[in-house]
Amino acid sequence: MLVALYLTAGDSRYDVGRIWRSPDQQLTWTGFATFVTVMCGASLTLVTNVADICRYTPTRRDMRIGLVASSLLAAAVTTFVGGYAAAATGKTNPFVAVVDLTSSKPLLVVLAVAIVVQGIAANITNTYTSGLSLVNSVPSLGRFRATVLVAAAAVALSGFPSFVDHAQRWITHLGNVAAPLTGVILADYLLVQRARIDVPALFDPEGRYRYLNGVNAAALAAVAVGVGVYYALPQSWLKIVWGLAVGALTYLALRRLQLLAADRAPVREATSA
């Protein structure tokens, strides 16, 4: 409906030719890099619950198709619809931008309902994600109580206007952590674990995934290094790529050092004996 209003608008600002030329906007590398960093940073915050989404797919092939297709379509549709309105009017919210394009009350009602549904759906997804992350950290809470606690915290934070007025800044900060964290997870799953998880070992308190008293020290250190590099680099360096790469490479290097130390330990013990 939004695209139909764009294309049929009598407003010259919405002319397709003008939008593609975008005389009031200019493409710059810094602007592009900043946009990619913010958008990818926001998407990568979902990495903590992607496994829970994937477990509902019957095969790995379905999982890959679903994740890749949904990610690409979401990025393409939202940037086109939002970018079209922004190029025409300078307003970043397409729903607000098209209000002036129609006087049809039924259509305005439909748009109002879409805004409400969009807000509710986004908040449900965010609460679900955060609740799942919390219950993974503190299993004794249970899904229900963890989700209630997260929802209560979210409502409390919404009372502070700075979280809304400076959303891009907060999303960037989240991305600063999410990118290195994603790099570590990908490196561990694809290269260290060879895309295979030993499920029984996950529940073994002394198993291979116990690490150091239940904490993967190499992963935490790698994320910390990645976050530091992320903050140190300017936006024009496409920070999201550096965050992923530094997090992954640092983790692999630390894992290698851990393995070397573990191999030398039996030798030292044998020598002492």
Let me know if 14 is exposed, middle or buried by CB neighbors in 10 A (0-12, 13-18, 19+).
buried
pLDDT over 90 at 224, yes or no:
yes
* Token representation of residue 40: 């990818």
d(CA 245, CA 101): 45
pLDDT tens track for 185-219 = 889 988 988 888 888 888 888 888 888 877 888 99
CA 105 centroid distance within chain: 37
Is the pTM of the predicted complex or chain greater than 0.85? no
What's the confidence (pLDDT) of residue 193? 87
* Alpha-carbon Rg for the chain in angstroms: 23
pLDDT tens track for 106-134 = 888 988 898 888 888 888 877 887 888 88
What average pLDDT does this structure show over 76-84? 87
What's the confidence (pLDDT) of residue 225? 93
Q: Which residues are CB-neighbours of 105 under 8 A, at least 6 positions away? A: none
pLDDT over 90 at 68, yes or no:
no
